[in-house]
Amino acid sequence: MDAAKTGGDVLFVLMGAVMVLAMHCGFALLEVGTVRRKNQVNALVKILSDFAMSTIAYFFVGYAVAYGIDFFADAHTLVGKGSGGFAAYGYDLVKFFFLATFAAAVPAIVSGGIAERARFWPQAGATLALIALFYPLLEGTVWGTRFGLQGWMAATFGQPFHDFAGSVVVHAFGGWVALGAVLNLGNRRGRYRPNGSLIAIPPSNIPFLALGAWVLCVGWFGFNVMSAQVLDGVTGLVALNSLMAMVGGIVTSLVISRTDPGFVHNGALAGLVAVCAGSDVMHPLGALVTGGIAGLLFVWAFNKCQIDWKIDDVLGVWPLHGLCGLTGGLLAGVFGQEALGGLGGVSILSQIVGTLGGAGFGLASGLAVYGLLRVTVGIRLDPEQEYKGADLSLHHITAYPEEDAPSM
C-alpha cells in the first residue's frame, strides 16, 4: 500500500507540474496578444528563455535556499534507493519540478510589465538573481521553516500565515517585483503626449490574448488543486472555489469595463490570482465574492496606473498579480473564518502581516535588482531599437516575415 500511495503521489504532483508548465504557454500568448506586432517574437522568446533561466537558478541555488535540499547526490539516492533521505519513486524530484514551475511564474509576470522596451540579457540576469535568491527567501519563509516567522506568527496571532497556492508567495511577489522593474525602466516612448495625456495602444491580437487567458485558466486548476502535493490532501473545495472566483472576476470585470475583451479575460485571471491563498479554506460564496472584488480592482487599478499615475505597465501585471494577490492574501483571513462559512484555521492579523510583508519584500527586490542592473549594464533598449521593435532589434525576424518582407 505504501508503494501504491507514493507512486500515486508522484503521478499526482507530476500532472500538476505539467499543467502549470502549460500555463507558461498562456503567459506567452497573453503577452503576444497584448503587445504590438513588432514585439511579439520577443514575448515568445523571453517567456521560454526566462523559464529555462529560472529552472537553472532554482535547481542549483534557489531550492536549497528555500528548503535546504539539493540534488547533487547519485541517482540511486535521488529516487529513494539510497540513504540520503529522499522519498521513493522520485517524489522529491517531481515536487521540485512542480515548485520550479511556480518559481518561473515570477519572471513570466515581470515580462508583461516591462514589455516592448527591455533589453534581453539584463532581463535574463534579473531572472537568475530573483529565482536564485529573492523568491526562495520568501518561499522558504512561508512554505518552509526559514527564519521561524511562521512559528512566531502562530504563537503571536494564534495561526501561521496561510497562503495555500501562492496569492502572495508567487503572484503578489511577482507583481510587486514588476512594479519595481517598471519604475526603473520608465514608460514606453510615445505612450504619453507632452501634456501628459495617454496615447492609446490597443492589443495587437485579441484571439491570442483570449487563448492565453484560457490556457492560464485551465492550468490554474493544476496550480491550485495540486498544491496539496499529496493525494490524501486533495479536496474538491479547492476546485470549486477556483471556479467560483474565476467566474466572479469575469462577471464584475465584464460589467465595469462595459464588455471590453481585454478586461474580461484578465478579470478571470484576477479572480484566480486572488483565490489562491484561501482556496482550501473559503466557502464557495466567499470565493465568488473574492473573485468579484479582484475583477473590479483590476479594471480600476489598470486604468489608474495608465491614465492618472503614468505607470506604463503594459499588461497590467502589478494590478493583476500585485494588487489582486495582495487582496487575496488579506481576504483569506476574512472568508476563511468559520463565522463566514469557512473552515477556520486562519488569523486576520497573520494574513495582514504576511501579505504586506510579502508584497513589500517583492517591491524591495524589484527595485534592488533592476536598479542595480540599470546603473551597471543598462536595462532599456535604445530609442532606435525601441522604434524598430524588439523583434527585429534583438531577434532579427518579425512574427510575420512573409508579410513584412519587401515586395519583389
Q: What CATH number has the domain bearing residue 230? A: 1.10.3430.10
Residue 201 main-chain phi, psi, to 5 deg: -125, 95
Asked whether residue 341 is domain-assigned, the answer is yes
pLDDT tens per residue across all 408 residues of the chain: 477 788 899 999 999 999 999 999 999 999 999 999 999 999 999 999 999 999 999 999 999 999 999 999 999 888 887 656 788 789 999 999 999 999 999 999 999 999 999 999 999 999 999 999 999 999 999 999 999 999 999 999 999 999 999 999 999 999 999 999 999 999 999 999 999 999 999 999 999 999 999 999 999 999 999 999 999 999 999 999 999 999 999 999 999 999 999 999 999 999 999 999 999 999 999 999 999 999 999 999 999 999 999 999 999 999 999 999 999 999 999 999 999 999 999 999 999 999 999 999 999 999 999 999 999 999 999 999 999 999 999 999 999 998 876 655
Asked whether residue 407 is domain-assigned, the answer is no
Side chain identity at residue 393, one-letter code: S
Q: What is the pTM of this model?
A: 0.97
Asked whether residue 109 is domain-assigned, the answer is yes
Asked whether residue 396 is domain-assigned, the answer is no
- C-alpha cell of 349? 492579523
Q: What is the pLDDT of residue 406?
A: 67
Q: Which residues contact 293 (CB under 8 A, 6 or more apart)?
A: 248, 252, 274, 327, 331
Q: What's the CA gap between 362 and 355, in Å, rounded?
A: 11
Q: What's the CA gap between 101 and 51, in Å, rounded?
A: 8
Alpha-carbon Rg for the chain in angstroms: 21
For 192, counting Cβ atoms within 10 Å of its Cβ (0-12 exposed, 13-18 middle, 19+ buried), the class is: middle
Asked whether residue 347 is domain-assigned, the answer is yes
Q: Look-up: residue for cell 485571471?
A: 269
Asked whether residue 404 is domain-assigned, the answer is no
Cα-Cα-Cα-Cα dihedral of 111, 244, 154, 161, to 10°? 10
Q: What is the pLDDT of residue 359?
A: 98
Q: Which of 309, 376, 312 lies closest to 126 in space, CA to CA?
A: 376
Which region, left, alpha or beta, applies to residue 173 given φ > 0 means left and ψ of -120 to 50 means alpha? alpha
Side chain identity at residue 212, one-letter code: G
Q: Which residue range is the domain that position 77 belongs to?
A: 3-381
Cβ(183)–Cβ(313) below 8 Å: no
Q: Within a 13 Å sphere around the CA of 215, how many CA atoms are in the beta-carbon half?
A: 19
Q: What is the pLDDT of residue 1?
A: 45
Q: What is the pLDDT of residue 81?
A: 74
Asked whether residue 72 is domain-assigned, the answer is yes
The secondary structure of the chain, three-state, reads CHHHHHHHHHHHHHHHHHHHHHHHHHHHHHHHHHCCHHHHHHHHHHHHHHHHHHHHHHHHHHHHHHHCCCCCCCHHHHCCCCCCCCCHHHHHHHHHHHHHHHHCHHHHHHHHHCCCCECHHHHHHHHHHHHHHHHHHHHHHHHCCHHHHHHHHHHHHCCCCCCCCCHHHHHHHHHHHHHHHHHHHCCCCCCECCCCCECCCCCCCHHHHHHHHHHHHHHHHHHHHHHHCCHHHCCHHHHHHHHHHHHHHHHHHHHHCCCCHHHHHHHHHHHHHHHCCCCCCCCHHHHHHHHHHHHHHHHHHHHHHHHHCCCCCCCCHHHHHHHHHHHHHHHHHHHCCHHHCCCCCCCHHHHHHHHHHHHHHHHHHHHHHHHHHHHHCCCECCHHHHHHCHHHHHHCCCCCHHHHCCCC
How many domains does the chain divide into?
A: 1
